[in-house]
Structure 1
Amino acid sequence: MNLDFLAKPMGMLVKLLYDMVSVFDTQYLSAYAISIILSTIIFKLIVMPLTLKQTKSMKKMQELNPKIQELQEKYGKDPQTLQRKQMELYKEAEYSPFAGCLPMLIQFPILIAFFYVIRSPEVYVFKNLEAYDLINKAFFWINDLRYTENFIFEGGIVNGLSMGGMTLPFIGAAVPIFAAISAFTTYLTSKMTMSTQPAGNEQAMATQKSMNMMMPVMIFVFGVQFPAGLGLYWVVSNVFQLIQQYVIMNSSKNPKEELK
């Protein structure tokens, strides 16, 4: 999938932000890192109407869960009647079970395009490798956001927190903090989402729990292998989404009114 038509304007946004904050460039927090953080927040704000709709839909499902469980207990042995009663309940509550799918489908190519930008800044942001090499790419404990957190530079300089000269299997010689935070926030988001799902049979629930445990592990594995700049993007994006989801799920406003 070629998403250059999306990646190019996103790269222009990162470059614009970089030029605006370049005066704040420091040894440990580069203007490039700041531009990644700001562009991630701007991106999340742009798609916020979609994510708000999705989160409010999750909250509505949470409110309907007790009634759905009652229907399952009453019509559990008659799947056709159970499905019909659930659809009637959804219609009465003005809830669509597919309301949360469309925002995810729309956001997915945009997310991939954003990954392109951060993975290849010399192509989409700074236009050539020489210009990219000249900028400061540090973020506190990370020397260069182009490399993975556990990357070992020539001359014995370690990018990250050294493990006393030891090399851990797969992880390497540095602590992948971004990967760990990404995995943890993904777990929290998945757990919060799972609490909104209607209770099903034990096998389905066990499968869902396994998926919720496997996803953070996969995110951690990917985070260790991806450039640290992608890790920074993922952490900021996850934290933003987690806060947004928590605020909406715990708001006192009637979810039926919110969905209108």
Structure 2
Amino acid sequence: MKRLILAVLACVSLSVAAQGKDAKPAEPKAQPGVNWAGQVVRATGQGAPDLKAQTPAHARLGAERAALSDALRNLLGQVKGVSVDGTKKMGDLMEKDEVRTRVEGLVRGYKIVNRRYFSDGGVEVEIEVPLALLSDVVDPDTTQMLAVGKPDGDKSATGLVIDARGLKVTPSLMPRLLDEGGKAVYSIDSLSADARKQSGVASYVQSLEDANKSLKAGEKPIVLKAAKVSGADLQLAPEDAKKLAALNTAFLADGKVVIVLN
């Protein structure tokens, strides 16, 4: 039976090779780890075919199961390395049984984003979970405790872009935006219950161009400059803090904030 499975897998390899230029190109492989712009954490896993299986189909199924198990283990490792607030990582919080149990349950709800099948019968899978769900695990209190601006303020802005270029920002699940006096004007406590699970506090991009293209910031975001940084916390200069205070910032409740790095 082992020889039969190997023979069938070899035929599959020849068939794939024979397709030549007519074959569809494989989707590009994403890098495992945290995608702060896309607000997901991703991992890959690989599995070899079960050569003791009764049929080639069962051998491939065994490879898929092994790949998913490997990916799940790797995803949990990636999650442990995610920064929470610039000082702690998820792995630190997961030392508590309650947090670890919730995170492990969340990770098991992964989404499969790609599969690759190899000529030897092996399989590779990519899986991911949204970062916003991790934020909700860390701070499950959905009470919106921080006001999000003047109801009668300027409504022209659709989102907020924080220009933090040149500052040593640590991308994190729960950054805070502070005024010149160190008072929080935006944090996870600004978010609605839905935004906690769907949007998260902020995304991070590498350029102003990327920020302006971001759906998260909307069509007409206001751009403010971060004057100082401490870990994940960003402090505005007095003039920019006043600009923000003058706006109707209802969009903050939806997490429409993008932070520009580098």
TM over 0.5: no
Structure holding more helix per residue: 1
Structure holding more strand per residue: 2
What is the TM-score with the length of structure 1 in the denominator? 0.26
Structure with the larger RCO, 1 or 2 (CA within 8 Å, 6+ apart): 1
What is the TM-score with the length of structure 2 in the denominator? 0.26
